[in-house]
Amino acid sequence: MNNFEFTHSFPAVRGIQAGKPCYIAMCPMRLVPTLFQFDGEEVPPELRAQRTINKSRIPEITSYLVDSPTDYTLSSLTASVNAMVNFEPLSDTGIGQNMGALLIPMDAQILINDGQHRRAAIEQAIKENPELGHDNISVLFFIDEGLHRSQQMFADLNKHAVRPSDSISTLYDYRDSLSGLARHLSNEVNIFSRMTELEKSSISNRSSKLFTLSSIKNASKSLLRKGVKDLITEEDTLLATVFWSEVTQNMSDWIKAKDKKLMTSELREQYIHAHGVMLQAMGNIGADLLSNFESDWKKRLTNLSKIDWSRQNKDWEGRALVHGRVSKARTNVLLTGNYIKQHLDIPLNDIEEQLEQEFHS
């Protein structure tokens, strides 16, 4: 019996990569869990064409699909078929010769080369919202040429993948309230509007910027004591705007840099307050200020101008500096915050007090 009497049929476009045919097709998501296989964890790595699934990633993707059924985006799956396929073009000539139906034998093994976490999340999401099963996901099909080729495909697909910076992800993420807050602050807080790097999450020595959008987001998250998925209210936005504006008024070097009276490269090279560790520490401090000193928190911030922010100040070693290099590790952020709190006459909490004792022991 001809295998093609029992086939899966997909509308597809045929193309060529590295001299070999490949096909891109739209597949109903309800078929994804049954059609596409994954090398199980019981198979040794050298006999697999994929890494094992990181199960902690699946709930996040699943929630994304379930929470945004009318506003999500999924990139293509890449799969290998270990059987001969048949392509029936719409016509023998012209553009139609590469458009048509892709027929895959039902007994063929279709192995995912890239997208195993999306596949697992789709399976779970459809269980929670069956309507998602009527949507489609694009699939790039290759003909399986054996384990070595599949392993090489995995390596090739992943070696050039670069995760976008946290700053540009924040800039483009309109679904996340904290990202929206960071964008608002970068426009409305005068110092941020002039001195924020929107694309990168680190600042080069030659940059004219002082802050990154991601550091503003993270510091403001601490300031408002918000979780990743918590909503940001208009009151929160106003409070954060006022707080960072007040901080700025007491940071004369920031203002000089904004007014081009001081080079930002010089500021980063010689001072602590030109680095993300200080901004994050101020976010933590601000949360305590706003909750415990509602009537005079602005007055307490005036003492920021009395702090010696120079790297030459030996008090920073072990706090903001580790062997002379700025560190944004959590412990260093807290110890930096402790030092600032002491100058603002703000009591340390129990965790900070314990850390301070360990620092001096």
Q: Does 154 lie in the same domain as 132?
A: yes
308, pLDDT greater than 90: yes
Q: What does pTM read for this prediction?
A: 0.75
With vertex at residue 288, the alpha carbon angle to CA 283 and CA 292, rounded to the nearest 5 degrees, is 150
Residue 144 — very low, low, confident or very high, per pLDDT cuts 50/70/90?
confident
The verdict on 82 and 194 lying in the same domain is no
Are residues 83 and 207 located together in one domain of the fold?
A: no
How far is it, in rounded angstroms, from Cα 293 to Cα 296? Answer: 6
Say whether pLDDT at 47 is over 50: no
Domain of 184, in residue numbers: 166-360
Spatial CB neighbours of 253, under 8 Å, sequence gap ≥ 6: 262, 267, 271, 273, 274, 309
pLDDT at site 79: 87
Residues 137 and 247 in one domain: no
Whether 42 shows a pLDDT value over 70: the answer reads no
Percent share of the chain, pLDDT over 90: 71
Q: Are 112 and 78 a contacting pair, CB within 8 Å?
A: yes
Boundary-marking domain end, from 112, 139, 159: 159
Q: Are residues 202 and 65 part of one domain?
A: no
Asked if residue 148 has pLDDT above 80, the reply is no
Please check the confidence at residue 49 and state whether its pLDDT lies above 70: no
Q: pLDDT confidence of 52, banded at 50, 70, 90?
A: low
- Is the domain of 19 the same as that of 154? yes
Residues 288 and 200 placed together within one structural domain of the fold: yes
Residue 280 tokens read as: 């994050």
Confidence bin at 40 (pLDDT 50/70/90) = low
- The answer to whether the CB of 78 falls within 8 A of the CB of 17 is no
Please give the pLDDT value at position 355: 95
Number of Cβ within 10 Å of residue 215's Cβ equals 27
**Domains in the chain: how many in total?**
2
Question: What's the pLDDT score for residue 97?
Answer: 93
Pairwise CA distance, residues 357 & 46, whole Å: 50
What confidence tier does 150 reach under pLDDT thresholds 50, 70, 90?
low
pLDDT interval class at 205 (50, 70, 90): confident
Say if residue 118 is in the same domain as residue 256.
no
* Average pLDDT taken over every residue of the chain: 89
In this predicted structure, what is the pLDDT of residue 43?
Answer: 46
Band (pLDDT 50/70/90 cuts) for residue 147 is: low
In the chain, % of residues over pLDDT 70: 91
143 or 46, higher pLDDT: 143
Domain end residue (candidates: 135, 159, 183)? 159
- pLDDT for 334-361, tens place per residue? 999 999 999 999 999 999 999 999 999 8
Q: Partners of 10 in the beta sheet?
A: 102
Domain end residue (candidates: 125, 144, 159):
159
Question: Do residue 182 and residue 318 come from a single domain?
Answer: yes
Please check whether residues 131 and 234 belong to one and the same domain: no
pLDDT tens digits, 95-135: 899 999 999 998 888 888 888 899 999 999 999 999 999 99
User: What pLDDT, on a 0 to 100 scale, did the predictor assign at position 3?
Assistant: 44
Q: What tokens does 55 get?
A: 């199960």
Rounded distance between C-alpha atoms, residue 149 and residue 78, angstroms = 14
Residues 205 and 77 in one domain: no
Do both 40 and 178 map to the same domain?
no
Per-residue CA distances from 187 to 110, 220, 240 (Å): 49, 14, 13
How does pLDDT run across 224-256, given as a tens digit for each residue? 999 988 999 999 999 999 999 999 999 999 999
